Amino acid sequence: MSVSLLPIDHLSMPKAFQIHASYFYPYRTISRYFFLLLDDIGLGHCFSKRKKVSLISRCRLKCSPVRCCDRRREGISVRTKKNYYELLGVSVDSSSQKIKEAYRNLLKKHHPDIAGHKGHEYTLLLNEAYNVLMAEDLRTKYDASIGHMTVQFGTNNYVNVKGSSSWKGPLRPQALFVDENACIGCRECVHHASNTFILDKSTGCARVRTQYGDDEQKIEVSVESCPVNCIYWVDREELALLEFLTQPQPKQGYGVYGQGWEKPANVFMAAKTLSKQLRQQAENNHNNVRTAEEEETPAQAEARANASLKIKMESFSKIWDSLNGIFG
């Protein structure tokens, strides 16, 4: 089975280590791209160097330096996308036929002739979701990006990998993750953001129940209050594997006691290793499919050659008939 997963090439650091004393200046970026745009459309000569300096100075008065780390911390202000499955009203396990039916029904309901301008915008979103979910390779990559994938262990053992936390509102690029191996169960995060974090009584450790379950200020306070820095901001693509590996996994047992359960000592290294294995597995599956497609029996090769010849002869016949009509 083909599995596609975005790589986890770099692992996120604890929140306490993400603060850097560096800045960027918005006015420089804004003015630079403004003048590049004018040059592209042939209007750059309308502004002299003196006028450009004046405009940049005016922008400087209105814009203040912004800490680079703030953009990472302001998860709520980052541009988000609505889940394609939720948009179409189908589950992640839905067949292509069910997705097509849901798409057509919604398209009729939100047609611009019925819903007006808002319907036009909604139709564009529906088209985007439909095009992704109907293409197998795009859907596989999208499923991985929202934390839904199928992992193959062994020959015929498939496991659905899903993150244990849910999302409040639309998906965001960043997600919260608690490293339970480092958590000491102090309940500080639960105290400050009880709709986001919970304390698992079976393990005595905190974990994320709902991504962005509280407002941004409460979440930031809860992250900063962790005395051991075990709460991480991670990319959304990393979340499913990390949460999956945090759960106890069956291990091979010997003797009369049979199998047992275990968790990796370093969940980040385990996720990186598994991600590499999945990429290799997906590449092997892709190569196998391509090899099967490239293999052609003599009968198939003859049929293909005959079909190609027939098409060429039909085209030649049409041209010949046209010439006869012209020259008699």
pLDDT for residue 176:
95
Per DSSP, the three-state class of 139 is helix
5-to-45, 144, 204, 235 alpha-carbon distances in Å: 48, 6, 31, 13
pLDDT for residue 114:
79
Compute how many other C-beta atoms are within 10 angstroms of the C-beta atom of residue 313: 10
pLDDT at residue 72 tops 50: no
Written as six digits, the tokens of 4 are 């596609």
- Tokens 């594997």 map to which residue? 241
pLDDT for residue 108:
85
Torsion of CA 309, 315, 318, 319, to 10 degrees: -110
pLDDT at residue 29 tops 50: no
From-to residues of CATH 1.10.287.110 in the chain: 84-145
Least confident of 247-251, 287-291, 304-308: 287-291
Residue predicted with more confidence, 53 or 46: 46
The CATH architecture assigned to 84-145 reads Orthogonal Bundle (1.10)
62-76, 205-219, 257-271: range with highest mean pLDDT: 205-219
Among the listed residues 134, 44, 69, 138, the one whose alpha carbon sits nearest the alpha carbon of residue 97 = 134
- pLDDT grade for 124, boundaries at 50, 70 and 90: confident
* pLDDT tens string 214-230: 999 999 999 999 999 99
Cβ atoms 201, 109 nearer than 8 A: no
The pLDDT mean for the chain works out to: 70
Among the listed residues 228, 232, 225, 234, the one whose alpha carbon sits nearest the alpha carbon of residue 189 = 225
CA distance 135 to 20: 41
CA-CA-CA-CA torsion sign (226, 228, 229, 231): negative
Q: Are strands 174-178 and 66-67 parallel, antiparallel or unpaired?
A: unpaired
Residue predicted with more confidence, 207 or 71: 207
Compute how many other C-beta atoms are within 10 angstroms of the C-beta atom of residue 198: 18
